[in-house]
Structure 1
Amino acid sequence: MAVSGLLFIAFVLGHMYGNLKAFSGEESFNGYAEHLRELGEPLLPYSGLLWIIRVGLIAALVVHVASAVALTRRAGKARSTAYTVKKNRNSSLSSRTMRWGGATILVFLVWHLLNFTIVKINPSNGETGSHNPYQLMVETFDLWWMTIIYLVAMAALAMHLHHGTWSSLQTLGLTSTPAARARAKAAGWILAVVIAGGFSLVPLSVLLGIIEK
């Protein structure tokens, strides 16, 4: 679970960087989207490397979800009797919402892929199969409710990253000293703010008219 989680952190960092190309305009954003499909040519066919990455991410997602289910069952077997009184003195909100946050991110991921990758649904008019990623993005986030959905998902992602980063580093044995634990907690906060904040900039900027068609 730790290793697959770190792979996703690397992916969302790269994905966030690509999203921020929207601030450079339509040509730059669409050029970046097209460049992703050309990676690996001529050794690989058009979109070949992109599909390899997609398959790898799907495999990592299966591993991550399966690990979460296995750990949840293990925790349930370890304590068959519920606490009489449960006090969350030493746990953070992000650690207590990992399961619900993960489920929220998974549901959002399905919609996000339908919206921008698989079917390319334009929520503003119901059309599908857009060949202009920039226009699809702007028309999607011009809708206030789509921006709200996206921001809620980013809040869940921030919480997941905050505790997930710490937990991954702890699992890999990188929190053995007080200084190391402090660095791991700081890394969790930094990644949560940078990644979720970076992703949120684009929909907010579209909604406010900073990024336009």
Structure 2
Amino acid sequence: MIPKSPVTHCLALAGLMLVGCQNTPKPSPTATEKPDADLVMMPGVGGRQAAGSAFGLKPMTMEELTACGKRLVAMNQESAQLKVISKQLITKKADIARQVEELEVERSKVDVGSRQKVADFNRRLEQNRDVISQYNSQSEDYNGKVNALSLESNQFNANCASRAYRASDAEKLPADLLAAMRGNSQVTDIPLIDDGLKSESHPTEGTHLPGTSSRR
């Protein structure tokens, strides 16, 4: 067997080293990527929370972030106002129901031979009618606002919720917008008032005692 020359041996080793380098797997670019700690997700409203991760999502522009923040603040304020109105209407409806019951009890006790007492009772009936009419108008207005807030909440969830934005951009926003995005959403499902007070449900409403003319 003819021994290899030193030159031939070196060339063989160089070839093996080259093959070894060529076969070494290169790290995948995605394997070295790390989540951007500056990216966060816009929360949802009406019980919907941001789902998933902001990793890999394109962040909103400063203009988009500001617009979403303003919408969130406005909805929080509207939701808080509607909660107050809802409680007021519930209380008012209970008061009206109590007034109607009192009038029904008093009806049988009115001295129909006294024009003055009949007139006084019928005047109270008219006042009760006005209160019922006012309540129905307020509850209708309230329901319209609840429906509008529900629509706005759906639009916000479709256009803003679960979208990524940069925390560093949010720091540049006004304090109220930043607080709304960082805090828990104040927007909740506000219940509708599904039954107004109807005259046929209250025998005294519009039903006068004889002895005086009724207002129509």
TM-score (norm 1): 0.31
Higher relative contact order (Cα pairs below 8 Å, separated by 6+ residues): 2
Greater share of helix residues, 1 or 2?
1
Structure having the higher Rg: 2
